[in-house]
Structure 1
């Protein structure tokens, strides 16, 4: 292995860790506020950076480039159409969260329904993280590092054995980082890595396009835009991984849930100084999502031309990076992909710990007449992080045997946990009549029906359409229960919406420009733009 690559990787990794330590040295990590809430003083730049880097992991680098290589650019919808969801979350959900002083997403459900509903949803969140967040993040990072460094040849082991080794390296490092640094360290490292990813987001396409054009970048761009143009199409057909019609059904629901209700994402916003900083941070993160086709999807498009015969399609991104980038930049890219995997993994671990400690363990101790101290809660949180990290490291390598493609597998399984929660939150916002037991019935009905449709009966619809249909059906079921058995005593302690909170004054102009930019991207990558035939 080239020593320059290794040195570059180590320097970048140590630099990020050093900056994070320096910025967090004054935070009291022995208190619940310091460990779990980062002191609630992050500015909009830190909020934006932590949102982007928590969202951006090796899963996207590996999974989306694989999908582009196999299908076309329709997979960019997961990132680009997030703009609409982030607009809605910023305008309607964030004010409620801030006015209510909420710490975890299920806090709203406790106010609206009851503590039982909050516990149910907290358990579902935890199951989602243990099954479909932490293991895939470790697996994606392991695939990326294995491909970029050609680790099987270096270690003298098989690909399968190398995946096991890298999963445990990533898991152990991520666990130590999270336990030692808390949420503040995660958000700081996210911001530092964001600057590095911007550099790599420019450098990798530049060198890859030069390789595509035999040293001439203009020739490379010309070839990319004139050959195999079907891969440039963002308007997916029903046979593609992301049909265009799903953007208006399940895709919208999944994105609203992700940016407005997913605990490990929302937690990055709730630690902002105030509502205005939270909204500005989300707007800046939305700008980042609009450039993700260049950062995440362009390598897959270039690989279609350079490596038309790849059999292990999950290795598209690491193979391109290893062949196109000079040693220093390859080491830096590996460090940033490593860091991106770590930030998502760390945020998942931290979000899981926060949910368990504040929503399950602490209420349990209080019901038993105990008054847990901060020291006890922090100790239990760290032990819980160690436990679920070990589970993730044991199960992650087996994702290698997923048959539907890595990214499709992730999104399909995520729907089992995310949209049932989304449904009861939306119904809770819309009406005060639906009782707590209707929310519990809605959760069970949705999860059982979706599992049956996807894994037992195979109804022949795209899973995003299935999610949208079940959202409507479950909502109607809950509303019917509310009509015949309405809530007798109002449990909801909704925050007074007249409490003055100063929103970001220019948010509407920013959102208008962002939506117009999103529409322009779709026009450009369609038959009205660069797609021929």
Structure 2
């Protein structure tokens, strides 16, 4: 089903408007040229609302909207744990990790690892993250985004990927993180409005025109099995979300790695005006995460009733969009594309930052600031081209791409969390111990996956984390070296404002209410 002329006009207006805003906010004062700090960290100028909106815009993309809606169709509300548990994880990162990162005045996560350990750790992790970002995350965003466009408009998958890539380049390549972050305000507003309207429409259809309350009641009556938050062992998808592990097990490790030590995400907070502004932005993002299941999971559950004959779970959200009225369908389509291109822009900017600042830049051969900006732009464009070429071979055969991404990254996240947590909070951790944990994470994950295939991957993540932590402790104690680069926690203030503390209590209370209601 193709878009109506009015829908196309609405969509084109959005595209042109966003590019115009990006160009406007990217302007520099007369006589000033963009330097590396301007391009990669927005000149440390982001206010809290830009930080929070950009965190969500970077996070919520095709892999979230299309992928989580697909998992909502297959599994149900239990997949929302990724969103809801992320909210409390964000508050923890804001209180305990962000103060350390901002005190170190870093551009990238690998840069912090060099300050704490040595250049080997920095280069190893920089190469690893570049590989994952280009070959897993960027490809997933492009592929699922193009799949959505294909389902709605019939446009060829490769043509869809090219459009998404060129669109993201058009508004972000020149302005860098500043253009990305400030246009993310528009993207998030549109995403939330469009997503809520789609959920409203779906529930109203299920309720036969009697409103969303009647629709939600009918949905829970007709598909009660989709509203189990904690899956029992006999559930067909228990291996994806193994019961209480979503509350006390491996999901914590997944979330800490993603929200706390992932360049693609944390770069927004590194660009905040101050620590307090960064923490306000994180709290804002946490509340938005509590809302996200209504936008990205509920439509997938609704599709169980409205579109029970779907061939692929990941088609749930795009097919529901075809139920929207003329005009609003174009707006919701624009919201979906907004989520995709904002994540593409964020991802390519992070790829450019890591490559330029961690691998290319050298104190032995200094270059001008403008040179590094140019290199960053070339890397951003090149990463998109590579991702387009490998997207179909890597992801074309998967029914639930979101679950594939989670399991693949789960090979590495236990070691990454050990590397950062021990590096920040245990002064005896050595560089060799950190590397052993990082490498051990992949090796042990592979061993467990094939030697114990019935072990849910989330439980595997928890077990591998504890194993890697033990490895790091044993190696550190064996080497017994004085760590001159250890983080001086006495020089870091973990004190937070009353507003941040109240927000933390509110997030916890809301989570308790959600899990109590749908246990």
TM-score, L = length of structure 2: 0.94
Q: Offset of 1:499 from its aligned partner?
A: 5.8
Summarize the alignment of residues 31-430 of structure 1 with structure 2, pairs less than 5 Å apart.
31-149=35-153, 151=154, 162-217=156-211, 218-238=213-233, 239-240=236-237, 241-247=240-246, 248-323=248-323, 325-363=324-362, 366=363, 369-403=364-398, 405-430=400-425
Question: Given that residues 18 and 171 in structure 2 are in contact (C-alpha distance below 8 angstroms), is that contact kept between their aligned partners in structure 1?
Answer: no
1:390-434 alpha-carbon deviations (Å, 9 max, x no partner): 110101123443346211101011122333222111121232223
Taking a change above 3 Å as real, the CA distance of residues 29 and 3 of structure 1, as seen in their structure-2 partners, is farther
Question: Given that residues 53 and 343 in structure 1 are in contact (C-alpha distance below 8 angstroms), is that contact kept between their aligned partners in structure 2?
Answer: yes
In structure 2, which of residues 23, 28, 31 is the aligned counterpart of residue 21 of structure 1? 23
Taking a change above 3 Å as real, the CA distance of residues 504 and 26 of structure 1, as seen in their structure-2 partners, is farther
- State the Cα RMSD in Å: 1.9
Q: Offset of 1:219 from its aligned partner?
A: 3.7
1:441 maps to 2:436: yes
1:359-383 alpha-carbon deviations (Å, 9 max, x no partner): 11113xx2xx311211221222222
- Output the CA distance in 2 between the equivalents of 1:349 and 1:36: 11
Which 10-residue stretch deviates more, 512-521 or 228-237?
A: 228-237
Structure 1: which 5+ runs fail to align? 153-161, 527-533
- Output the CA distance in 2 between the equivalents of 1:496 and 1:432: 10
Question: Given that residues 139 and 391 in structure 2 are in contact (C-alpha distance below 8 angstroms), is that contact kept between their aligned partners in structure 1?
Answer: yes
Question: Given that residues 74 and 244 in structure 1 are in contact (C-alpha distance below 8 angstroms), is that contact kept between their aligned partners in structure 2?
Answer: no
- Output the CA distance in 2 between the equivalents of 1:192 and 1:271: 19
- Output the CA distance in 2 between the equivalents of 1:356 and 1:199: 36
In structure 1, which of residues 495, 505, 513 is the aligned counterpart of residue 506 of structure 2? 513
- Output the CA distance in 2 between the equivalents of 1:361 and 1:317: 41
SS at match of 1:244: coil
TM-score, L = length of structure 1: 0.91
Question: Given that residues 38 and 183 in structure 1 are in contact (C-alpha distance below 8 angstroms), is that contact kept between their aligned partners in structure 2?
Answer: yes
- Output the CA distance in 1 between the equivalents of 2:262 and 2:290: 21
SS at match of 1:398: helix
1:481 maps to 2:480: no
1:216-236 alpha-carbon deviations (Å, 9 max, x no partner): 225423311321111122222
Structure 2: which 5+ runs fail to align? none
The residue number in structure 2 matching 1:156 is: none
- Output the CA distance in 2 between the equivalents of 1:481 and 1:381: 37
Taking a change above 3 Å as real, the CA distance of residues 428 and 24 of structure 1, as seen in their structure-2 partners, is same
SS at match of 1:230: helix
- Output the CA distance in 2 between the equivalents of 1:508 and 1:393: 43
Taking a change above 3 Å as real, the CA distance of residues 493 and 434 of structure 1, as seen in their structure-2 partners, is closer
